[in-house]
Chains A and B, each alone.
Chain A
Amino acid sequence: MSAGTSTSTSSSADTEARVPFLSVRDLKVHFSTEDGVVKAVDGLSFGLERGRTLGIVGESGSGKSVTNLAILGLHDRERTALDGEVLLDGRELLTAAERDLEALRGNTMSMIFQDALASLSPYHTVGAQIAETYRKHTGASRREARARAVEMLRRVGIPQPDMRVGDYPHQFSGGMRQRAMIAMALVCDPELLIADEPTTALDVTVQAQIMDLLRDLQQEFGTAIIFITHDLGVIANLADDVLVMYGGRCVEKGGRAEVLGVPRHPYTLGLLGSMPSLDGPVDVPLSPIPGTPPSLLAPPPGCRFHPRCAFAEKVRDALCSTRRPLLEPVDGHGTACHLTAGQRREYFADYRAARVN
């Protein structure tokens, strides 16, 4: 265990007061494939405090899932090159030994996946799968672990947990399976929980139940949560901070209200404009982002969003296609975009007017 976090003073240029519980710095995840190197994540940095929720938004191929598999060390080691720094409570994870990671996984940091049916073993009872994690990390007896599994199932709201503990995942409904998965992830009271699209496959009423559950559990245990989703509505309901990813990079990050209310990056703006709402006008077409996400084998130079960006030609010297925009936080809200604050105010005004009215 680290002997107090305050002693390890980092001499880096940024003047952050303290090292957050989870700190990711300039993370790069590159896969080698037959066609070449896929730059799935290309220089990503963020921090997360205990008891807070970071929502990571992005479309398929944006690198959001890959990032989190890399944090847990679950990437394919044969074909993946990692670079950068991931500090969990002061401990470096990227260079940690497999054995040390195993002791952390499921214990200090755990993960919930999207498709609970596929992600739970069909060959073992729900109770056994929860108990297994507990036994592995606490050395509890079978009986204790089973009792703990029942307790966890009760806590996540499974009716008759002492009966259902012996059921197999296929005997559970979709919502109950996701609850069981959450019970399994939380059985050792982890300090970091990574939820990868945990509600995407669920119906809205069940999704609402699961979101409530996560919120309640977080309040109870003070867990830090990374919530990965493509659904901005879910983010708006759950996240304290939001990080928007595009093409393996972070394009915008900041507090939820700032990012969703006053987006600074054209991509975030585009995502918001793509989503129909329950009370917006219906006669106007949606404003989708043209084109398709970039190939990460040969990503566009400069800003990766520029081929789809409506504002790229408004920036002088063709900066967008030549130079990578850096993410500079202003009041904790940062965007990687070459537009000036003034340009943004001007061009984004229409959107804001439509939203607020």
Chain B
Amino acid sequence: MTITDPLLDVSGLTKHFPIRGGFPFPRTVGAVRAVDGLDLQVAEGESLGLVGESGCGKSTTGRLITRLLEPTTGRITYAGRDITHANRRQLASVRPEIQMIFQDPYSSLNPRQTIGRIVAAPMEIHGISPAGGRERRVRELLELVGLNPEHYNRFPHEFSGGQRQRIGVARALTLSPKLIVADEPVSALDVSIQAQVVNLLQTLQRDLGIAFVFIAHDLAVVRHFSQRVAVMYLGRVVEIAHRSDLYENPRHPYTRALLSAVPEVTAEGAPPRDRIRLTGDVPSPIDPPSGCRFRTRCWKATDQCAARTPPLARIEGDATGHLTACHHPETVEKPAAAQGPATPG
């Protein structure tokens, strides 16, 4: 593929959650195929956005990468080491380098611990004592994420949602990670606060060279934060590309539909360009459609789409690294789409 020597290399990853049932003796009768054949790579210091609608498996992917979940099949390689089925002991050396930021800044912080303890916890767990002591490190981190280091001894409930998310970020930074998986880190926050946290993360990524897997459903936020973006649908990546290629020249019909559904504030406050109306709901991941999974909602679907799964590959005319899994990709649009003036009618 495109990235030589990636920091994170995921190939053919699947996660099936078994469904038990049956009478009189319960047995496995099926599986929710949350992630079903996922390929992606993340280079060092790069931010990869992972977008898709609820139930597409993006959060499960995040948990698989951080190995909070055990993959069913496939391979996860981190810095050249296969960590797919690594056990606790084998993971111990990798864990400090891969950290996670969660969506809910309320439930992801222990309400009975001071923020000093919360942020210091990773050092405690891994038995690390930095020069100058843990407390000094914590104070540095608090300052880094824009919190007052004097608040060391306060409890989470004394902070607003945005500040709590900063605490979560500080905790993720404690061990100087190389990769942070951020699962909807700003979607629970108010718009004005959201921008503060996005800016913070962007600064950190740039200054500290941390690679991100940025999971979100907000396409505009993802575009702003991630250099490359992968679009997921029903457990698979349907398109992955550099952000400018993906947003200006989407090749997968689903990507196009998704982009066109985003309500945008245009300069004149006028309604935006033509929209593609997707009908119906995402099919069940228990019994996904054969072939291309998007075909049941796709206006271009043919028999071929049901018969054969389209591979995630580069389509002629696309930039390198722009991969699409589609038998009937969208045609290339004029690249001049940049700042779209409102199209009447």
A binding-site residues for B, Cβ under 8 Å: 59-60, 159, 173-176, 203-209, 211-212, 230-237, 256-261, 270-280, 282, 285-290, 292-293, 355-357
User: Per DSSP, are chain A's interface residues mostly helix, strand or loop, or mixed?
Assistant: helix
- Complex Cα–Cα for A356 and B269 (A): 11
A180 to B: closest C-beta gap in Å: 13
Residues from chain A with a CB closer than 8 A to the CB of B258 are 204-205
B184 to chain A, nearest CB (A): 13
Q: Which of A59, A208, A232, A292 contacts B265 (CB 8 A)?
A: A232
Inter-chain CA distance A233–B280, complex, in Å, is: 23
Please tell me if the beta carbons of B265 and A260 are within 8 angstroms of each other in the complex: yes
Question: Which residues of B in the span 5-60 have a Cβ within 8 Å of any Cβ on A?
Answer: 53-54
17 contacts between A and B (CB under 8 A): A176-B281, A203-B53, A204-B217, A230-B191, A233-B264, A236-B263, A236-B270, A257-B268, A261-B267, A271-B191, A273-B195, A276-B220, A278-B264, A282-B223, A286-B199, A287-B195, A292-B162
A285 engages B217 (CB within 8 Å): no
Which residue on chain B has the smallest CB distance to residue A215? B271
CA distance A272 to B220 in the complex (A): 13
Report the minimal beta-carbon distance from A5 to chain B, rounded to whole angstroms.
Answer: 31
Query: A260-B265, A260-B269 are known contacts; what are 18 more A-B pairs with Cβ within 8 Å?
Result: A59-B192, A159-B280, A204-B53, A205-B261, A208-B263, A231-B263, A234-B263, A236-B265, A275-B220, A276-B221, A276-B223, A278-B220, A278-B223, A279-B338, A282-B224, A289-B195, A292-B160, A292-B162
Q: Which residues of A contact B259 (CB under 8 A)?
A: 278
Nearest to A293 among chain B residues (CB) is: B190
Q: A208-B261, A208-B263, A279-B247 are in contact. Are A289 and B269 (CB under 8 A)?
A: no
Set of chain A residues within 8 Å of B267, measured between Cβ atoms: 261, 355-356
- Give the complex CA separation of A175 and B191 in angstroms: 23
A105 to chain B minimum Cβ distance, whole angstroms, is 29
CA distance A60 to B190 in the complex (A): 7
Q: Which of A203, A256, A259, A280 has the most CB of B within 10 A?
A: A203
Please name the residue on chain B nearest to A157 by beta carbon: B279
Are B224 and A286 in contact, CB atoms less than 8 angstroms apart? yes
For residue B272, CB closer than 8 A to chain A, the reply is yes
Q: How distant is the Cα of A272 from the Cα of B202 in the complex, in angstroms?
A: 19
- The residues of B that contact A232 with a CB separation of less than 8 Å are 191, 265
Q: How far is the CA of A80 from the CA of B163 in the complex (A)?
A: 30
Q: B338 — which chain A residues lie within 8 A by C-beta?
A: 279
Q: Taking A231-B263, A275-B265 as contacts, is the C-beta distance between A203 and B243 under 8 angstroms? A: no
A278 to B51, CA, bound (A): 14
A289–B193 alpha-carbon span in the complex (Å): 7
The bracket for how many chain B residues form the interface is 35 or more
Which chain A residues border B77 with CB–CB below 8 Å? none
Determine whether B339 belongs to the interface, using a CB cutoff of 8 Å to chain A: yes
Find out whether the CB atom of A277 lies under 8 angstroms from the CB atom of B220. Answer: yes
B134-178 vs A, Cβ < 8 Å mask (1 yes, 0 no): 000000000000000000000000001011000000000000000
Complex contact A203–B217 (CB within 8 A): yes
Asked whether B219 lies within 8 Å of A275 as measured between CB atoms, the reply is no
Partner of B271, one of A236, A270, A278: A236
CA separation between A211 and B194, bound complex, in Å? 24
Asked if B257 and A205 sit within 8 Å, CB to CB, the answer is: yes
Q: Is the CB of A286 within 8 A of B198?
A: yes
- For the complex, what is the distance from the CA of A293 to the CA of B160, rounded to whole Å? 9
Q: A84 → chain B, closest Cβ, in Å?
A: 26
Closest to B203 in A: A285
B196 pairs with A261, CB closer than 8 A: no
When the two chains form their complex, are residues A279 and B340 in contact, meaning their CB atoms are under 8 A apart?
A: yes
Q: How far is the CA of A174 from the CA of B55 in the complex (A)?
A: 11
- Residues 188-231 of chain B, each 1 if its beta carbon lies under 8 Å from chain A, else 0: 00111111101100110000000000000101110110000000
Given the known A-B contacts A260-B269, A276-B221, are A175 and B264 also in contact in the complex, defined by CB atoms under 8 Å?
no
- Contact status of A275 and B195, CB under 8 A, knowing A204-B262, A293-B190: yes
